[in-house]
Amino acid sequence: MNIKEISQTVIGRLPRYYRYLGELQKSGIERISSGALSKKMNVTASQIRQDLNNFGGFGQQGYGYNVAYLRSEIGKILGLDTEHNMIVMGAGNLGQALAKYSSFERSSFFVRGIFDNDPKHQGRTVRGIPVMMMDELEGFLSNNQIDIAALTIPKEAVSEVVERLVKNGVKAFLNFALVDLELPKDVIVENVHMSDSLMRLSYNMIQRKEN
């Protein structure tokens, strides 16, 4: 399957397909037409067909999509058929929220450790996940295959922490800090900038009032 040329916009829609198909599966629905799926997801049927054709189709003309099969194929494309081990940098409210967030595990993302430099967190666990101190980081990384680090630390601390993580093999970041990471080419990042989301909301509020 050649999926090298798929745009990030299409990729961005796949998690939503995956989520909807999971809900259909839970409701016992085995087969769905692109028309019915489009109604449920509030996108056009032709958009759905186009998106899924990027990956070779999956549907049979007139028969609709096999829900379980389509979901599992999209899961494979998204890499959800293998476990991903994560650590969370920062044991504050956001870090704890991430460690407790059960939706991650349903998609094969497992938080294996939380790191902080505040001794008040030492020895704590969050939902069974240990909070460790920063001087334990390198040791932990050499004993555990960690794919992803979520960054919930203050932006002033980010560049030093990221350098230590990259040096010890972490190649992917979920970045909540309000700073753009400077990273080697083989390291990837997804930013979750909540203030940016609020600003887009605010912009769209003005447009709504003006129209």
Residue 117 DSSP one-character state: S
Site string for a copy of itself, 160-179 (x = CB under 8 A): -----------xxxx---x-
- The tokens for 58 are 């999956």
Q: Which is nearer to a copy of itself, 16 or 167 (CB)?
A: 16
Residue 61 Cβ vs a copy of itself, minimum distance, rounded to whole Å:
28
Residue range at the interface with a copy of itself (CB under 8 A); choices 30-38, 46-54, 59-67, 103-111:
103-111
Give Cβ neighbours of residue 57 (< 8 Å, ≥ 6 apart). Answer: none
CA-nearest of 118, 144, 145 to 133 is 118
Show the DSSP H helices in 27-100 as ranges.
34-41, 45-53, 67-77, 93-100
Q: Indicate the pairing of strand 172-175 with strand 148-151.
A: parallel
Give the nearer residue to a copy of itself in terms of CB position, either 66 or 85.
Answer: 85
Which residues of this chain interact with a copy of itself, rule CB under 8 A? 3-4, 8, 11-12, 14-16, 18-19, 41-42, 77-80, 84, 92-94, 96-98, 100-101, 103-104, 107, 109, 147-148, 171-174, 178, 180, 186, 188-190, 192-208, 210-211
